[in-house]
Amino acid sequence: MHIIESGNVAAASGVKLAKVQVIAAYPITPQTPLTEKLSEFVDSGEMDAQYIPVESEHSALAVCIAASSAGTRAFTATSANGLLYMHEQLQWAAGARLPIVMCVVNRGIGAPWTVWNDHQDSISQRDTGWIQLYCCDHQQIIDTVLQAFYLAETVSVPVMVCYDGYILSHTYMPFDIPEQTDVDRFLPPFSPAYALDPKQPANLNTVTLPDVRPDVRGDVAPGYMEIRHNLHMDMRAAITVAADIDRKFEDIFGRGGNPFIEPYRCDDADFVAICLGSLSYHLRDVVDILREEGIPVGVMGLRLYRPFPNQAVRNALSSRKAVIVFEKALSYGNQGALYGDIKSALYTADNRPIVHNYILGLGGREIKTHHLEKALRESCTAPDAIGDTPVWIGLKM
Amino acid sequence: MKPVTKKTTFACRKSHSEPGPGDGGRTGSWRVKRPVIDPEKCIPAKRNKPACFTCWLFCPDGVISRTIPPAIDYEYCKGCEICAEECPAGAITMVDETLFIIEEKQEEK
């Protein structure tokens, strides 16, 4: 069924279709309408779930950790400083291998206080052991939420579904809400390997010694490093699993085909812009303008950021003359995080393109098409003139 | 009991384990001082009756038995001294582990 609604409602609709059993969230702009919608669903009986109100984001994720440990499908959502407040619990959820799904409605972080969009919140949680998926429009939000549960529960790693605050969360767009029967066909019920059970007590994530040890039965039990190595290897394996899930999704719903990178006019492009989130759709307009001038340029939206699909990135970019990374976040004192990741993926490529980095839109600074056009044209016409330093777009002072 | 009941491809090395003695490793090796019970002073030992057991009650690692006399499992006792501190009869003294190591080495000779 096609409807016209906000990105937050798209996310909430996905959560409902996924038959989430426990929701715990603390409202924060611009995520608030998502949690409000979910509480409406629960209140009206449309969703058979426990909605647990909490006093903070730290508690919200702690509740989800408990719910997921008990074997239920758990969901939370947050933005900006709320996500930062979860930081300790984020690491815990990943280390405990709990397949929680969380929507991160991307917003800049304070200080100074801001409620507007950029990507610094989720990028700053890059190394917490969560899978990160980014959405470009409302359809991708609802589809990605459904895929996220499947992916999380298959590899036992929690997933963040990230989408731009306001630009996607509060704007209205048409999108298809899948039929429940199709969703049930796509997404199997959550069957945890172990769920809390008083009849079968277990130690969960207790002090784990540096070295391996004999367990109570004398078998070798893993030490901290084995457990963490396993998390890393399962994260790497999640790349293949994400592609499999994308194929299954496409078979049932007819949408998919680009699990890692969504290209636009890239087949013959010497120059490729790449970024996360809705900005890649904005850049499509810019690509169209430059294409009319005969510049062979395209744009790619990166969907899967962690685990980083190095091979797919290398395959997609290594034959280009220049790759232009547009980012709404940066690793302060160095460069954009995505820029660093892309350069690293390209290091072993036979043909290493020039890579540029533009920083823009921080704290909701308006991204004007003509700014993007100017930057991209400069990168395409004189790629050697721009160095290995982030260039800021739209600075006024 | 197998904590991970299902053979799974992923998360096969979660930090789940069966609770029981030794799951935290042989923590006795952490001990610097060894609690030693003097049966001349220990209340249940002296009276030959199930009494007191304050050491058993307070031991945070559950390595003291509720027996006459109480026995300490040195495989896992970390030497925290709580039993010695709490014993109302002053029957538990903390003895430097190095003394036992020296003794063991002499026995080996």
SS3 assignment for A188-202? CCCCCCCCCCCCCCC
Cβ B10–A203 below 8 Å, yes or no?
no
Q: With a cut of 50, say whether residue B5 has pLDDT above it.
A: no
Alpha carbons within 13 angstroms on the beta-carbon side of residue A95 total: 19
Q: Which residues in chain A (94-123) have CB-CB distances under 8 A to chain B?
A: 95-97
Q: A155 and chain B: CB distance < 8 Å anywhere?
A: yes
Bridge-based pairing of strands A22-25 and A50-53 is parallel
Size of interface A-B (CB pairs under 8 A): 85
- What CATH number labels B37-95? 3.30.70.20
Please report where in the chains the tokens 């209340």 appear, as a residue. B43
* Nearest residue of chain B to residue A224 (CA atoms): B15
* Nearest residue of chain A to residue B23 (CA atoms): A215
Q: With a cut of 70, say whether residue A40 has pLDDT above it.
A: yes
Nearest to A287 by CA among A273, A270, A276: A273
Asked whether the CA dihedral B35, B41, B46, B51 is positive or negative, the reply is negative
Instruction: Considering only the beta carbons, identify the residue of A215, A227, A234 that sits closest to B23.
Output: A215
Polymer length in residues for chain A: 397
- In this structure, are residues A136 and A277 in contact, taking their beta carbons and an 8 Å threshold? yes
Q: With a cut of 70, say whether residue B14 has pLDDT above it.
A: yes
What are the angstrom distances between the C-alpha of B12 and each of A64, A96, B15?
22, 12, 9
Domain final residue, candidates A186, A215, A237: A186
The CATH number of the domain holding residue A374 is 3.40.50.920
Tokens linked to B9: 């491809």
pLDDT-based confidence at residue A194 (cuts at 50, 70, 90): confident
Query: What is the per-residue pLDDT across B40-64, written as a single tens digit (0 to 9) for each?
Result: 999 999 999 999 999 999 999 999 9
Q: With a cut of 80, say whether residue B11 has pLDDT above it.
A: no
Instruction: Considering only the beta carbons, identify the residue of A202, A234, A237 that sits closest to B16.
Output: A202
In chain B, where do the E strands start and end?
A: 16-17, 33-37, 92-96
Cβ A202–B24 below 8 Å, yes or no?
no
Report yes or no on A249 lying in a domain: no
Q: How many domains does chain A have?
A: 2
Residues from chain B that touch A203, judged by Cβ atoms under 8 A, are 3, 16-19, 23
Using DSSP's 3-state secondary structure scheme, residue A128 falls into: helix
Cβ A155–B21 below 8 Å, yes or no?
no
Secondary structure letter of residue A353 according to DSSP = -
Q: How far does the CA of residue B104 sit from the closest CA of chain A (Å)?
A: 25
- Does one domain contain both A265 and A177? no
Q: With a cut of 90, say whether residue A320 has pLDDT above it.
A: yes
Query: What is the per-residue pLDDT across A21-36, written as a single tens digit (0 to 9) for each?
Result: 999 999 999 999 999 9
Residue of B14 and A62 predicted with greater confidence: A62
Mutate to test the interface with B, among A220, A230, A236, A239 (most CBs of B within 10 A): A230
Q: With a cut of 70, say whether residue B24 has pLDDT above it.
A: yes
Secondary structure letter of residue A363 according to DSSP = G
Nearest to A187 by CA among A157, A156, A143: A143
- Does one domain contain both A156 and A71? yes
Cβ B11–A156 below 8 Å, yes or no?
yes
Report yes or no on A229 lying in a domain: no
Report yes or no on A211 lying in a domain: no
* Nearest residue of chain A to residue B20 (CA atoms): A216
Tokens linked to B2: 């197998």
Rounded to the nearest integer, the mean pLDDT of chain A is 96
Cβ A156–B18 below 8 Å, yes or no?
no
Q: How far does the CA of residue A234 sit from the closest CA of chain B (Å)?
A: 6
Please state the rounded mean pLDDT for residues A202-210.
Answer: 89
Measured between alpha carbons, how far is B76 from B63 in angstroms, rounded to an integer? 7
pLDDT of residue B8: 56
Q: With a cut of 90, say whether residue A129 has pLDDT above it.
A: yes
Residue of B23 and A148 predicted with greater confidence: A148
Cβ B14–A227 below 8 Å, yes or no?
yes
- Does one domain contain both A319 and A170? no
Measured between alpha carbons, how far is A352 from A4 in angstroms, rounded to an integer? 43
Q: With a cut of 90, say whether residue B1 has pLDDT above it.
A: no
- Does one domain contain both A386 and A278? yes
Instruction: Considering only the beta carbons, identify the residue of A157, A194, A213 that sits closest to B16.
Output: A194
Q: How far does the CA of residue B11 sit from the closest CA of chain A (Å)?
A: 6
pLDDT-based confidence at residue A368 (cuts at 50, 70, 90): very high
Q: With a cut of 60, say whether residue B2 has pLDDT above it.
A: no
The domain containing residue A286 runs over which residues?
Answer: 261-392
- In this structure, are residues A119 and A328 in contact, taking their beta carbons and an 8 Å threshold? yes
Please state the rounded mean pLDDT for residues A65-81.
Answer: 97
The CATH number of the domain holding residue A93 is 3.40.50.970
Q: A91 and chain B: CB distance < 8 Å anywhere?
A: no
Share of chain A above pLDDT 70, in %: 100
Interface predicted TM-score (ipTM): 0.71
Cβ B24–A206 below 8 Å, yes or no?
yes
Start-to-end CA span in chain B (Å): 44
Measured between alpha carbons, how far is A367 from A361 in angstroms, rounded to an integer? 6
* pTM of the predicted structure, to 2 decimals: 0.91
Report yes or no on A217 lying in a domain: no
